[in-house]
Amino acid sequence: MTVTVGFIGLGNMGNPMAGNVLKNGFTLTVFDKNRVAMQNLVAAGAVAAASARQVVDKAEIVLTCLPGSPEVEELYLGAQGLIECTRPGNVLVDMSSVLPSTPRKLESLAKARGVEFLEAPVSGGVTGARAATLAIMTGGDEVVLERVRPILRTIGPNIYRVGPAGAGNTVKAINNMMSSVNSLTMMEGLIVGLKAGLDLETMHAVIKDSSGNSNALARVHRALIPRNFEPGFKVQLMNKDLDTFHSIARELHVPVSFANIAQRYQQAALAAGLGEQDTSVIFTLIERLAGITRDQG
């Protein structure tokens, strides 16, 4: 395969996503400001760059997966940023979850320099990133999507073209609001059950086969029973996505309510110093509010 690929931002999502690009035979150059995040990929055959600049020098198609809009805008628009340094004709694909205004701005500035840009946020969590089953929500030109599709296919089979730049991150924020609300209603329900003397396994089994079932229930075995709150998906990232959802709803004058309740829980977790933990950790906050004490040993 001749196309050269770059990947910047190798955290909980970017690392396994880049690993799947590599496994499919693409020549891959990687960069993360945390050098440890590159080690496993270099061991698997990727080339480590010393800077983001080196990635765009080496690769024709560069994917990025950073925390949010401030980091993405800094990387793309700062001094020696990706848009300034990418060769005209090459492609930048941002897979981070950001404000819709970010890809709109990046696309127009990239185009002005003859650089192609596509927004492509993802959903499916770290499990989906490892299994290459992510949903990918692209916004931007169809021709750009077709150019990068063979690479995106190595990351996830469900690739959608939602609309122009900004549309991908709009549906992503809607998805995450729904996912967060689902998750929190599940947690509140399970804690009522615990106080009523039921056990988690039994509730999980019954609800999985009943009308209250949702993807959120996967957290019962992944996080709640083992009490493993390693991310996964960090509280601070969900908080950011709910901010995005609220800003879209506010701009459109839609009076939304559930997202506000979901964000109150993220705020409580941030205030408790749990921002770097998985969003499932909110279960422990609701337990405390409910007066459930348990031996953390």
Q: Is 153 in the site for ligand NAD (CB under 6 A)?
A: no
Report the residue number, 13 or 281, with the smaller CB distance to ligand NAD: 13
Could you give the CA distance from residue 180 to residue 262 in angstroms, rounded to a whole number?
6
Could you give the CA distance from residue 68 to residue 129 in angstroms, rounded to a whole number?
18
Residues 230-269 that bind ligand NAD (CB under 6 A): 232-233, 237
With residues binned 3-state (H G I as helix, E B as strand, rest as coil), the percentages for the chain, rounded to 5, are 55, 15, 35
* 172 catalytic residue (yes or no): yes
**H/E stretch holding 8:** strand 4-8
Q: Is 103 in the site for ligand NAD (CB under 6 A)?
A: no
To the nearest whole angstrom, how small is the minimum distance from the Cβ of residue 167 to ligand NAD? Answer: 17
Candidate list 6, 11, 19, 81; residue touching ligand NAD; CB under 6 A: 11
Q: Is 36 in the site for ligand NAD (CB under 6 A)?
A: no
Contact status, residue 236 vs residue 159, Cβ threshold 8 Å:
no
Instruction: Tell me how far apart the terminal alpha carbons of the chain are, to the nearest angstrom.
Output: 51
Report the residue number, 65 or 93, with the smaller CB distance to ligand NAD: 65
Contact status, residue 282 vs residue 269, Cβ threshold 8 Å:
yes
Q: What are phi and psi of 7, to 5 degrees?
A: -140, 120
To the nearest whole angstrom, how small is the minimum distance from the Cβ of residue 238 to ligand NAD? Answer: 8
Report the residue number, 63 or 187, with the smaller CB distance to ligand NAD: 63
Residues 37-96 that bind ligand NAD (CB under 6 A): 37, 52, 65-68, 71, 75, 96
To the nearest whole angstrom, how small is the minimum distance from the Cβ of residue 191 to ligand NAD? Answer: 23
Q: Is 185 in the site for ligand NAD (CB under 6 A)?
A: no
Contact status, residue 90 vs residue 62, Cβ threshold 8 Å:
yes
- What are the angstrom distances between the C-alpha of 4 and each of 13, 43, 135, 271? 21, 18, 23, 43
Q: Is 126 in the site for ligand NAD (CB under 6 A)?
A: yes
List active site positions.
172
- Which residues bind to ligand NAD, rule: CB under 6 A? 8-14, 31-34, 37, 52, 65-68, 71, 75, 96-97, 122-123, 125-126, 232-233, 237
